Structure formats: structure tokens, C-alpha cells
């Protein structure tokens, strides 16, 4: 599933390609995504793309009198292509921008293409999202305050978008390793010193992933079709049975909240 780094890589790639361009047409081949593509989306021709920003894993395309809300779902990608590029089986949506198109490919159809004329941050999908991990809002004091009184393990806590948005499974695993925190440690028992390390580890992990173009494990590609390579730098994710790159201990795998968790029993001892 594309997580914050993959969505941010997509945004950075799209911004110079589509900002300032006029939408000349919209083509919908398959409207049955996570939510049906509405008639309002089909009627966007004539509007100008002003900017693109990210909120969590959502991309918000500012069209002046409203915003297109895009989500990549579990397998989606957005690419900028020449308008004559033939559509493949899973290419469900095109935003035509004169001499180029913005195309959504989504094999599993869990993505979203929505339109809102209201304040996008107040949209029901975004209104209850937590703090942005790359912003100044996530500092050690804030993270420490968020975790007080929480009995849930720190790994699922980090993945709860009502606390912190966009971290996701891969980067929660990697951040906890960098901070030296066991994934089963109750969030409320983590000290202020450990939370300082964790806040920094989250930021460093996400920034490193963005610089590497994200993680391309299956379907994800950037807007130019290139694949990310952060997966070659994982410390623990998907490395069960292999030696820890830092201490040599065997990486272990457990399941938390139906998601795979990977950790080093020595570097992340409880």
C-alpha cells in the first residue's frame, strides 16, 4: 500500500507537470473505485490546476472553486503521459491537460477520485486526521503527550491516522528499529527520552524514503514511471530470518493487528 513517502514522491513529481494547466477533458473508464466517481468529477473541464498539496495519504488538487481529492488505495499510481498513450486494463481515470494526461492506474480499485467545493481539510475523510509527521507539530513533547495513558502497543499506535498520519506499516517498523523500541512496548510506557529518539527516527525514516523515491514492492511507480529503491535499505521490514544489519541477531516476525511486524530482538530489546 502506498504510504506517506510514496504519496509525497507522487506529489513532487506531479506538481511541475500539471500546476497551471487547464483541464481540457475527463475520461472515466471504470467509475467503481472505493467510492463511485461522481458526475461533478466528470464535469471539471475548463478549470485550471492551481496547486497540489498532501494531507496524510491524500492528494488535494486545487482547481480554484474546489479540490480534487485523490487517494492511491492499496495498489494505485498516478502518471503523467502523452495523450495518445493507450489505456491498459487497470487505467481507470484520465485528467486530460492539453498535451498531457494525468492517469490513475489502480488494479485493486481501492483508490479514490472525489470532488469537494468545501474546505478540503473539513471533508469527512480528512477532518479527523492526526498530525503530519514531517511537520513541526510532531516534536518529542507532542509525541510524549499523545502516548500518555495509552495501553496499546507502540507499533499500531503509530499506524493509527487519528494520532499521526501516513506512517504506515513499513515505516513504523523502520522507525521503531532506528529508535531502538520494541514494537510491543505499550505506548504509554515509553519515556520522554525514547520519544525524543522516536520522533526523530520517524522524520529521518520518512525523509530518507522520499529521497529514495519511496518503496516499490509491487505496483507503485512515481509519476514518471520510475520505481523507488528504499526497499533495498530496509533495516527490518520483510527481513525475517536474516541477520540484523547492525548487530547480527536474527530478525523476527510477529503479527500485530493483522499486520506483519519485524524487529531485531537485540537492538529493540524490551
Handedness of CA 103, 104, 107, 113 (dihedral sign): negative
Please list the residues that pair with 105 across neighbouring strands: 77, 91
Residue for grid cell 500485530 = 256
Catalytic-labelled residue, pool 55, 57, 79, 155: 57
- Using alpha carbons, select from 89, 49, 88 the residue that is nearest to residue 70: 49
To the query of whether residue 3 is one of the catalytic residues in this protein, the response is yes
To the query of whether residue 50 is one of the catalytic residues in this protein, the response is no
Q: What are phi and psi of 8, to 5 degrees?
A: -70, -40
Q: Which are the contacts of 100, defined by CB distance < 8 A and separation ≥ 6?
A: 17, 18, 21, 80, 81, 82, 83
Catalytic-labelled residue, pool 100, 184, 259, 265: 259
Q: Which are the contacts of 118, defined by CB distance < 8 A and separation ≥ 6?
A: none
To the query of whether residue 2 is one of the catalytic residues in this protein, the response is yes
- Using alpha carbons, select from 201, 264, 257, 216 the residue that is nearest to residue 237: 264
What is the rounded distance in angstroms from the CA atom of residue 251 to the CA atom of residue 186? 21
Give the start-end residues of each E strand in the chain: 25-28, 51-55, 58-62, 67-71, 77-81, 91-96, 101-105, 112-116, 252-256, 259-263
Q: Is 131 helix (H, G, I), strand (E, B) or coil?
A: strand
What is the rounded distance in angstroms from the CA atom of residue 45 to the CA atom of residue 49? 11
What is the rounded distance in angstroms from the CA atom of residue 192 to the CA atom of residue 143? 9
**Catalytic residue list:** 2-3, 57, 259
Amino acid at each position: 500500500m502506498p504510504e506517506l513517502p510514496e504519496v509525497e514522491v507522487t506529489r513532487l513529481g506531479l506538481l511541475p507537470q500539471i500546476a497551471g494547466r487547464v483541464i481540457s477533458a475527463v475520461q472515466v473508464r471504470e467509475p467503481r473505485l472505493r467510492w463511485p466517481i461522481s458526475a461533478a468529477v466528470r464535469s471539471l473541464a475548463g478549470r485550471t490546476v492551481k496547486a497540489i498539496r498532501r494531507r496524510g495519504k491524500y492528494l488535494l488538487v486545487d482547481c480554484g472553486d474546489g479540490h480534487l481529492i485523490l487517494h492511491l488505495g492499496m495498489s494505485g499510481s498516478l502518471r503523467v503521459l502523452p495523450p495518445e498513450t493507450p489505456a491498459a486494463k487497470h487505467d481507470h481515470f484520465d485528467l486530460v491537460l492539453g498535451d498531457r494526461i494525468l492517469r490513475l492506474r489502480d488494479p485493486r480499485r481501492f483508490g479514490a477520485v472525489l470532488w469537494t467545493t468545501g474546505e478540503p481539510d473539513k471533508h469527512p475523510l480528512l477532518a479527523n486526521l492526526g498530525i503530519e509527521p514531517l511537520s513541526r507539530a510532531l516534536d518529542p513533547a507532542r509525541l510524549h503527550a499523545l502516548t500518555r495513558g495509552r495501553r496499546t502497543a507502540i507499533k499500531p499506535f503509530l499506524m493509527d491516522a487519528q494520532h499521526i498520519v501516513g506512517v504506515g506499516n513499513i515505516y513504523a517498523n523502520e522507525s521503531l528499529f532506528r529508535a531502538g523500541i520494541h514494537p510491543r512496548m505499550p505506548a504509554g510506557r515509553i519515556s520522554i527520552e525514547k520519544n525524543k529518539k522516536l520522533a526523530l527516527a520517524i522524520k529521518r525514516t520518512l525523509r530518507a524514503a522520499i529521497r529514495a523515491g519511496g518503496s516499490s514492492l509491487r505496483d507503485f511507480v512515481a509519476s514518471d514511471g520510475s520505481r523507488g529503491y528504499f526497499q533495498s535499505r530496509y533495516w527490518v521490514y520483510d527481513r525475517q530470518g536474516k541477520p540484523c544489519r547492525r548487530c547480527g541477531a536474527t530478525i523476527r516476525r510477529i503479527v500485530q493487528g493483522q499486520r506483519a511486524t519485524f524487529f531485531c530482538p537485540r537492538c529493540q530489546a524490551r
